[in-house]
Amino acid sequence: MGNADEKTTFDEKPLRNSSEDAQRLEDAGRRMSTADELTALSGIEDTAASKAAWLITITISLGNFLFVLVTLGASLGHELSSSEQEMVTSLTSGGALVGAIFAGLIADKFGRRWPIWCACAVFVIRTVLQTAAHSVAQFAVGRFIVGLGVGSAAMIVPLYIGEIAPAKYRGRMIAFSNCSVTFGQFIASAIGAGLAQVKGEGWRGTVGIGAAPAIALAVMLLWCPESPRQLVAHGQTDRAEEVFLKIYPTSTHEQRQAKKTAIEMSIHEATSSMAGESLWSTFRRIFTTPATARAVAVACITMAISQLGGFNTLMYYSAKLFAIVGFSNATAVAITVSATNFIFSIVNLALVDKFGRRILMIIGLLGMTITLSIAAVSFQFIPIDLKTLEVQSDTVGWPGTLVLVCIILYVGFYSSGVATIAWIGTELIPMEVRALGTMLNTVTCWSTNIIIASTFLSMMKGLTPTGAFGFYTGIYFVGWLFIIFCYPDVKGMPLEAIREVFRHGFGVRYSKQWRKENKHTPKVVQQHFGH
């Protein structure tokens, strides 16, 4: 990582035949019609990525971890009633929605790091408020504020990492940031049970200490460079070059120049100046440029599928759900769910750049459809009182066990597929609208999340558990069809090249073709540059 003011000086390696190479590149630039071709020709994506890129990713991901972890926190020293619990959950999600909008609005003007600093500040304020809270109202305000931090971090972290990451590591780097979410959820569920045991005022200390990591993150962020794409978009090409050198340390000066030119070309294909454009024109651009609209729609619909299928009801209500099917130690079962979620998010990390986004989602959504439909049918055989949602039996029979097994398998399919890839969707959105598009993606996440969280229990009562789970199964089935027909796989593509994908409808075939043709990029580079 660099120093705090980003003015690091680098020892440039002497370049072989540099003037000759530069001339060739310039000629190439003239011959190249698209940013995609220029990036491929430069070969920068085939040079080794640095440890710095990973260090930056880890630091930024810490934001996700922290903010997820705190959604747990204390409970005013007494057990919250179910309506208080619902209110607190919705307030956090509502805050997250507002936080994501705020981050989306400032990310282009002030850069990708400011929303994270704001989230850290918000987090410290919340800590003070919540530590001093004596009423549910004060506590609720604290929760809303923490939601602002959660939403802001959730929106900016994948966007920022996606722009820093070398193309061939982009999927796993964004997946890493989602692992920090699932790890946070796992830790939260594990210590949640413990915290509930803390009597009296003991919880205030626990919440108070929570401010320290946010301050640490704010300081560490000073060492992370601004997104090079953002720097190019604002005409700060020298600083962008420094960042590229950090990310691709073995690249040549010409390769970095080509990367910058490719980003400029890509942006200029859409707008003459990003810096001079109003938020409103950028927003309109999303809906008035068909290729851009398709890109944003695919990202948002994928996110909606990941949420509307009801996964987070497991995060919020799994103890309740497992009590319904007859497990007395429901908290332990709930921890198993969050542990599975965490482990399979690592599986996604390991596979997403190797096999691509599409196949993981296609297998995952099919697996989720099958496992949830079996769970839905199994519920039929469990004697549940629909008024109280309580099981009328003392033992867990085979249907209860089957529901548990199906749910664990379902979580594995979810987490290794659509859950993480919905966040990787930021890569589909072209640069000039990426901040606002990613904001819409995050807004889709929280709004659908609120819908599901606030309707789950009434759906279980009104539609019966079989009906509710049947409904979620339907969502996943439709989602599965959507991914098959409309989701292009852009694994390994430089961000600048992705714009072209959506010029060909949803680009499913185009992206396949692109990968076939670009398997051997190094050869192309060798031919043109002789290295």
Ligand X SMILES: O[C@H]1[C@H](O)[C@@H](O)[C@H](O)[C@@H](O)[C@H]1O
Residues that bind ligand X (CB under 6 A): 178, 181-182, 185, 306, 312, 315, 341, 345, 415, 419-420, 422, 445
Minimal CB distance to ligand X: which residue? 419
The answer to whether residues 440 and 286 touch, using CB atoms and an 8 Å cutoff, is yes
φ, ψ dihedrals at 25, nearest 5°: -65, -40
How far is C-alpha 181 from the chain's CA centre? 9
For ligand X, the closer of residues 103 and 233 by Cβ is 103
CB of residue 96 to ligand X, shortest distance in Å: 11
Tokens representing 287 are 């809906």
For ligand X, the closer of residues 306 and 371 by Cβ is 306
The answer to whether residues 99 and 155 touch, using CB atoms and an 8 Å cutoff, is yes
For ligand X, the closer of residues 175 and 497 by Cβ is 175
Cβ neighbours of residue 468 under 8 Å, at least 6 residues apart? 310, 456, 459, 460
Name the H helices within 417-433.
418-424
CB of residue 83 to ligand X, shortest distance in Å: 22
Specify whether the backbone of 9 is left (phi greater than 0), alpha (psi in -120 to 50) or beta.
beta
For ligand X, the closer of residues 283 and 414 by Cβ is 414
Tokens representing 285 are 């651009």
CB of residue 74 to ligand X, shortest distance in Å: 21
β-strands 384-385, 390-391 pairing: antiparallel
CB of residue 506 to ligand X, shortest distance in Å: 22
The answer to whether residues 90 and 144 touch, using CB atoms and an 8 Å cutoff, is no
The answer to whether residues 306 and 444 touch, using CB atoms and an 8 Å cutoff, is no
For ligand X, the closer of residues 315 and 433 by Cβ is 315
CB of residue 332 to ligand X, shortest distance in Å: 19
For ligand X, the closer of residues 292 and 345 by Cβ is 345
Tokens representing 471 are 């409904």
CB of residue 384 to ligand X, shortest distance in Å: 25
Distance CA 174, CA 411 (A): 19
For ligand X, the closer of residues 315 and 435 by Cβ is 315
CB of residue 104 to ligand X, shortest distance in Å: 17
For ligand X, the closer of residues 129 and 161 by Cβ is 161
Tokens representing 518 are 């670009």
Cα torsion 278, 283, 284, 290: sign: positive
For ligand X, the closer of residues 180 and 282 by Cβ is 180
CB of residue 342 to ligand X, shortest distance in Å: 8
Distance CA 203, CA 187 (A): 16
Angle between helices 398-416 and 330-355 (to 10 degrees): 30
CB of residue 445 to ligand X, shortest distance in Å: 6
Cα torsion 261, 266, 269, 270: sign: negative
CB of residue 224 to ligand X, shortest distance in Å: 22
How many Cβ atoms from other residues are within 10 Å of residue 516's Cβ? 9
For ligand X, the closer of residues 224 and 422 by Cβ is 422
Tokens representing 390 are 């309580």
